[in-house]
Amino acid sequence: MGSNRTKWIHKPYPRVSHLRDQFLISLSFGLFIFLFLVFFQPFGLGDMTTNKSLYVFGFGLITTFVMLANYLISSRAAPKYFNPDKWTVGKDILYGLFNIIAIALFNYLYHVKVGGQAIDPGAILTFIIITASVGAFPLTIMVFVNELYLNDRHQKHARKLSQQLEDGLMTHPSTNEQRNMIIGDSENDSLELNLDDLIFIQASDNYCTVHYLEANKLSTQLIRTTLKSIETQLGDFPELKRCHRSFMVNRQKISKISGNARAYYIHFFVSDQTIPVSRGIKKDSFLS
């Protein structure tokens, strides 16, 4: 049970990184808070008789601006931590909690300012609890909706890319041109093969596993080198494309590209293995 929970916490999750999406989510969350407080009037709001709507609107406005500011500042303040390629369910949960605390603090300061009251440290905890109780539902819904939206968008884009790949193969069929390459940093630990036989290269620390065809059968060879070194070494082969920090693929061997909410994946004609594509990589660059 504990192991499954740990795996779920570390499971990749799509981080919202586009400004338009960040703005829409922040605005939607602020609007939800405003409507919730207006219609349900919890926490004594029903006893207010003057400027109630304006007072509640302030909470929604602050919520929107705090969420948007967190989106804009956090990724710039700690770019490594907020790297979309390393974003996980656990990080998204922690970020949600951070947002709730930040919103609660600023809403409390607004409440104190409007009411002309003195700051009470004990009341801050109350505001955090109130904000969490009101915000937990829309945050959960937004995570769910965001996953559905990204899944649909990535699948449509992946189908379009796959169709373009297929059209490109029909328009520019393989020429079977003999273009040999040598992969490796030393003569005793290297591999010589034809471009048409290379499928993909996978890196692990200071080693790379080359996946290729030998006599029309899948083969692999482990070579002591780095993917960065291979990328420099094979710079004259534009067909080879770095798609991930750990993978380089031969674009001629790609059969299709698939996608879900979290990532895009490359499929091959001659191998059942799928390769992830980093979010920072332009997907159109895999087209011939």
Q: What is the mean pLDDT of the chain?
A: 82
Matching residue, tokens 């919890």:
42
- Pick the more confident residue, 101 or 149: 101
What residues contact residue 39 under an 8 Å CB cut-off, 6+ apart? none
**Is the domain of 124 the same as that of 218?**
no
240 belongs to a structural domain: yes
pLDDT for the residue numbered 70:
93
Lowest-confidence region among 7-11, 52-56, 179-183, 215-219: 7-11
221 belongs to a structural domain: yes
Rg (CA), the chain: 26
Domain total in the chain: 2
> Which residue range is the domain that position 73 belongs to?
2-158
Task: Give me the long-range contacts of 36-45 (CB less than 8 A, separation at least 24).
Answer: 36/134, 37/134, 42/130, 42/134, 43/130
**Is the domain of 32 the same as that of 102?**
yes
**Is the domain of 139 the same as that of 242?**
no
Segment 214-241 shows an average pLDDT of 89
pLDDT for the residue numbered 8:
65
234 belongs to a structural domain: yes
pLDDT category at 86 given cuts 50, 70, 90 is confident
SS3 (DSSP) at 84: helix
- Pick the more confident residue, 256 or 42: 256
pLDDT at 202 over 90: yes
135 belongs to a structural domain: yes
Q: What is the CATH number of the domain that holds 250?
A: 2.40.50.1020
pLDDT at 280 over 90: no
**Is the domain of 16 the same as that of 96?**
yes
Partners of 249 in beta bridges: 200, 241
pLDDT at 2 over 70: no
